[in-house]
Amino acid sequence: MQEIKREVLVNKASELLKNGTVDRVFGWKKGEFDYDITPALFTTAEDIENEFVWGDFCGANFSKYLIKETGKSENKVLVFLKPCDTYSFNQLLTEHRFDREKVYAVGVPCNGMLDTGKIKSSAEGISKVTDNGDKVVIETLFDGEITLDRNELLPDRCLNCKSKKHVAYDELLGEDGAVLDSNRFDEVEKLEKMTPDERFAFWQNELSRCIRCNACRDVCPACTCEKCVFDNPNSGVENKAATNEFEEKMFHIIRAFHVAGRCTDCGECSRVCPQHIPLHLLNRKFIKDIDSFYGEYQAGAEVGSRAPIVNYTTEDIEPGDAVRRNENA
Amino acid sequence: MQRIGVFVCHCGTNIAGTVDVKAVAEALKTEPGVVFSTDYQYMCSQAGQDIIKKAIAEYNLTGIVVCSCSPRMHEATFRKTAAAAGLNPYMVEIANIREQCSWVHKEVPIGTEKAIILAKAAVAKVNLNAPLTPGESPVTKRALVIGGGIAGIQTALDIADAGFPVDIVETKPTIGGKMAQLDKTFPTLDCAACILTPKMVDVAQNDKIRVFSYSEVTEVGGFVGNFEVTIKRRARYVKEDICTGCGLCTEKCPQKKVPNEFNLGMDNRSAIYIPFAQAVPKVATIDPNHCMKLKTGKCGVCSKVCTAGAIDYEAKDEFVKEKYGAIVVATGFNPISMEKFDEFAYSQSKDVITSLELERLMNAAGPTGGTLLRPSDHEHPHTIVFVQCVGSRCEACAEKGKEYCSKICCMYTAKHAMLIRDKYPDTEVYVFYIDVRTPGKNFDEFYRRAVEEYGVHYIKGMVGKVSPEGNKLKVQGSDLIYGRQLHIDADLVVLAAAIEPDKSARPLATMLTASMDTNDFFTEAHPKLRPVESPTAGVFLSGTCQGPKDIPETVSQAGAAASKVIGLLCKDKLTGNPCVAHSDEMMCNGCSTCEKVCPYGAISYVDKEFRMPDRTTKVRRVAVVNEAVCQGCGACTVACMSGAMDLKGFMNKQIMAEVDAICK
């Protein structure tokens, strides 16, 4: 259950549309199923009144949409940002990917967004999902009503939420939260403790399910190249579908390297993966290493910050020491 | 398609001993693009170069691969050869089959196989090479010398003599360095001050030389010919241009209990001080750690007695920015700490001293006025034991000592022993040594004089333990020649402490991107052929920052470094490196990552209009490289996640082609 009611968002959007602050609104709208909410661009108060959705399935992060949308018009676009979305927002500003002047950002508090995969695997023939405080009630076609604990249906990114604080907004609805002490690196540590063979087997198992739909890349707010290397015939690594086991891993590992130091750990990659590959763990491994080698760094915490891997200080760890530290870990 | 010629060098037996060069030339004949392949004994010789020139003309070659030594050695040679034959010099690639192949392998089949692979990789690269034309950059006709010891002084004087302005940056309040602390110098026994201080005065009086004393380099930007350096001038609380160096303030200063670093803490100085009478610049400096006025606000005596009005308690550190064409590193050395050598009781007894401390005790301007007295009771020592190689050649004790030979100790110990025997003939002098190393003009004669004429007892063997007992130092050592243990009751023990590079050298090397060895000595570009140049263009090495040296060697190297600097500063323009970065603006997303990693500030951004496929116009922010400033380090190409940034001559696809050729 979200703290802020739908009406508050709808009223805010309508107000800003009517007073001319913005002429477009990024929001969520109903999809085929209750758990299948899709991002949408609204242009009239009427559409917003009828179709705007706010609830436990509004996970989509709109930051990346701003790159294209701000290029289309001189007028401002309204975007609703959950705390974790604001980090992506700042990171994109750091990289000069859109014009801040063309955006009106409204921060909305978030209680965590439910994991569609977990919902679908907990019930068959889902006809309706309603949230009710700590519980989620699922109506099904065959088994009647099933009530589950909300916590059991949260994805990793929400269970280990890194921050309830908005790091960017023009206006905030509700109360702002704080940066949290999360256990987000626990899973990474588990992987680190595996033997190389076990770890290889783990990733082999996960990544062999990849169907190269490119959803992770397309949704990732850090993946904003004009032309992706995987779409560029001149890059030498261009490919559409993996032809062998090596290429299955190559795509994801190259992607993790490309977003290293820029990934804000928003978790969109894992959210959209139709094969439920825990892709965010690859990025978290990088974040954890960067933190331990160069001191804590959160991409997107502020605009214009220099990620440790594109910065140099005389205190930087020597490459040899980094390797040794990893070996001893 | 390229028409490539392959030239395999025997390098005498250097390559041909481990690589079947004929087989390499033969194997390369069938590589794509190769139209000619041959081998020769010395490709870099006149005859070898003629083979290349002839082949270029005869076979109409568009690219060549020379399989020889490291490109560091002869890439420039073969580029010139190609240019002389009308080929663009950047169509030459070197396959390093010596340092990276024949020298590291022992068996011919393995060496040959690897040489073929390396040559194939070079051919794969040349197939993608394009002719490149270098640009030019101007030269700032001013040099910076970091360190004001004898090395820095000599380098600065020589550069200034050629008419170029030079700045010396020295961390101490005065120039002079270690030599200013010495008493006499081997092998001629002339007094250090008598030969050094006139040079210091020359520096002070030379209008081409500026001395930034009590200062340090905090930032270095730019590149050869165009360095931009920030110098921090630490607040000395005395106006340098007003102070006359009369010394009245140092006499009147009530805080007189500050250990005098110039005399290595063996006496005291005042909180406002001039390190020694011949200091350059001869101005006072207030030590902020001991000055009562600066610490508590109460005192101000120096300000009252200063008739010139030079005292300024409000002074702040100042930062000076200056441009230089060349930088000379002359950061020098220090004796290592003796704290860890408990066996010699250095920390327990005042009468166990280092050789540098002995220099001060024998110096007429030292704490004892030149009379050799024990630090503990100011008595004449009658038995003196010298211990050689304390911390030098110390493989087993790497934690406290150094593996290398400090080079100067054998000679200065012979000097000390001789001077003591000369002045105080009733003193017995023992020298414990591992070897006596005296290569150098008149050095061995000097040492033999100490033994034969002055009766110094040289004992081959090391001292195991020094234990203070009463007013004696019980020295236990082994005499390896007689195979016996010696017990000597000494009055004074002198330790020839190993020397190490100054601690400021490591951070400085980082700023200069100049390489160092594991001992923090600066690495020269080539140990034999380019001994005073650092591998970083425009950075030169003078004195002990490069390795242990005595004064004659230091002075000759200082002159050599100066001549290299003069050679550089004489040029009006430097031919640049055409292997610079280039951004593909269709791929660039303007993220600024390359700008952040560029150490030279060569990348900027522009908003540019692009015609889109749907016939609309879009304005995008894209990176632009200033080719005159870019040094081709390639940092941007690896940082660019879009793959928009590429390095001419080392394009990503060329490197991938090399890797593919190797992995095939």
Residues B29-40 have pLDDT tens digits of 999 999 999 999
Do residue A225 and residue A270 come from a single domain? Answer: yes
Q: Å from B587 to nearest chain A CA?
A: 5
- Three-point CA angle B381, B385, B391, nearest 5°: 135
Ranges in chain B, pLDDT < 70: 396-398
Q: Å from B338 to nearest chain A CA?
A: 28
In a domain, A309, yes or no: yes
Do residue A137 and residue A30 come from a single domain? Answer: no
Task: Label residue A134 by pLDDT band (50, 70, 90).
Answer: confident
Inter-CA distances, B284 with B240, B318, B367, Å: 8, 17, 20
Cβ-defined contact of A97 to B591 (cutoff 8 Å): yes
Q: Which pLDDT belongs to residue B617?
A: 86
Q: Which pLDDT belongs to residue B444?
A: 96
The domains located in chain B, with CATH, are 4-126 (3.40.50), 143-234+317-332+502-569 (3.50.50.60), 248-305 (no CATH), 334-500 (3.50.50.60), 581-648 (3.30.70.3270)
Question: Mutate which of B642, B646, B660, B663 to test chain A, going by most A C-beta atoms within 10 A?
Answer: B642
Q: How many CB atoms lie within 10 A of CB A248?
A: 21
Residue B638, chain A, CB below 8 Å: the answer is no
Handedness of CA B23, B24, B29, B30 (dihedral sign): positive
The three-class DSSP label of residue B153 is helix
Last residue of some domain: A124, A139, A172? Answer: A172
In a domain, A245, yes or no: yes
**Per residue in A150-201, pLDDT tens?**
999 999 999 999 999 999 999 999 999 999 998 999 999 999 999 999 999 9
Do residue A37 and residue A93 come from a single domain? Answer: yes
Per-residue buried b or exposed e for B383-413, using 16+ beta carbons within 10 Å of the residue's own CB: bbbbbbbbbbbbeeeeebbbebbbbbbbbbb
Per-residue buried b or exposed e for B75-114, using 16+ beta carbons within 10 Å of the residue's own CB: bebbbebbeebebbbbbbbbbbbbeebbbebeeeeebbbb
Cβ-defined contact of B642 to A225 (cutoff 8 Å): yes
- Say which residues have a Cβ less than 8 Å from residue A9's Cβ, sequence separation at least 6: A27, A52, A54, A80, A106, A108, A173
In a domain, A248, yes or no: yes
Closest to B640 measured CA to CA, from B596, B609, B606, B600? B596
Handedness of CA B416, B419, B422, B426 (dihedral sign): negative
Do residue A190 and residue A257 come from a single domain? Answer: yes
Residue ranges of E strands in A74-157: 77-81, 103-107, 126-132, 135-140, 145-149
Phi (first) and psi of residue B496, to 5 degrees: -85, 85
Q: How many domains does chain A have?
A: 3
Residue A96, chain B, CB below 8 Å: the answer is yes
Q: Which pLDDT belongs to residue B398?
A: 67
Of the CA atoms within 13 Å of residue B144, those in its CB half-sphere come to: 31
Q: How many CB pairs (< 8 A) connect A and B? A: 52
Check: CB of residue B542 under 8 Å from CB of residue B152: yes
Determine the residue of chain A that is closest to B645 in CA distance. Answer: A235
Determine the residue of chain A that is closest to B655 in CA distance. Answer: A236
| Bridge partners of residue B231, in order along the sequence | B217, B320
Q: What is the pTM of this model?
A: 0.76
A274 lies in which domain range? 186-328
Cβ-defined contact of A227 to B590 (cutoff 8 Å): no
| Bridge partners of residue B487, in order along the sequence | B476
Do residue A279 and residue A199 come from a single domain? Answer: yes
Task: Label residue A326 by pLDDT band (50, 70, 90).
Answer: low
Do residue A137 and residue A269 come from a single domain? Answer: no
In a domain, A280, yes or no: yes
In a domain, A177, yes or no: no
Q: Which pLDDT belongs to residue B222?
A: 87
Q: Which pLDDT belongs to residue B663?
A: 93
- Say which residues have a Cβ less than 8 Å from residue B638's Cβ, sequence separation at least 6: none
* DSSP states of A126-139: EEEEEEETTEEEEE
Check: CB of residue A116 under 8 Å from CB of residue A36: yes
Question: Mutate which of A69, A235, A310 to test chain B, going by most B C-beta atoms within 10 A?
Answer: A310
| Bridge partners of residue B320, in order along the sequence | B231
The three-class DSSP label of residue B426 is coil
B593, B605, B618 member nearest A71 (Cβ): B618
Q: How many CB atoms lie within 10 A of CB B347?
A: 11
Q: Which pLDDT belongs to residue B485?
A: 95
Residue A310, chain B, CB below 8 Å: the answer is yes
Distance of alpha carbon A60 from alpha carbon A32, whole angstroms: 16
Determine the residue of chain A that is closest to B660 in CA distance. Answer: A236
Do residue A164 and residue A34 come from a single domain? Answer: yes
Q: Which pLDDT belongs to residue A327?
A: 65
Do residue A166 and residue A42 come from a single domain? Answer: yes
Do residue A141 and residue A90 come from a single domain? Answer: no
In a domain, A181, yes or no: no
Do residue A128 and residue A110 come from a single domain? Answer: no
Inter-CA distances, A124 with A134, A143, A146, Å: 21, 8, 10
Do residue A65 and residue A134 come from a single domain? Answer: no
Phi (first) and psi of residue A220, to 5 degrees: -65, 120
Determine the residue of chain A that is closest to B654 in CA distance. Answer: A236
Cβ-defined contact of B596 to A226 (cutoff 8 Å): no
In a domain, A14, yes or no: yes
Do residue A133 and residue A147 come from a single domain? Answer: yes
A residues 214-243 near B, CB within 8 Å?
224-227, 229, 232, 234-236
Cβ-defined contact of A226 to B586 (cutoff 8 Å): yes
Closest to B246 measured CA to CA, from B287, B204, B180, B306? B306
In a domain, A100, yes or no: yes
Instruction: Decide if pLDDT at A314 tops 80.
Output: no
Q: Which pLDDT belongs to residue B41?
A: 96
ipTM, two decimals, is 0.86
Angle between helix A245-259 and helix A196-207 axes, rounded to 10 deg = 100
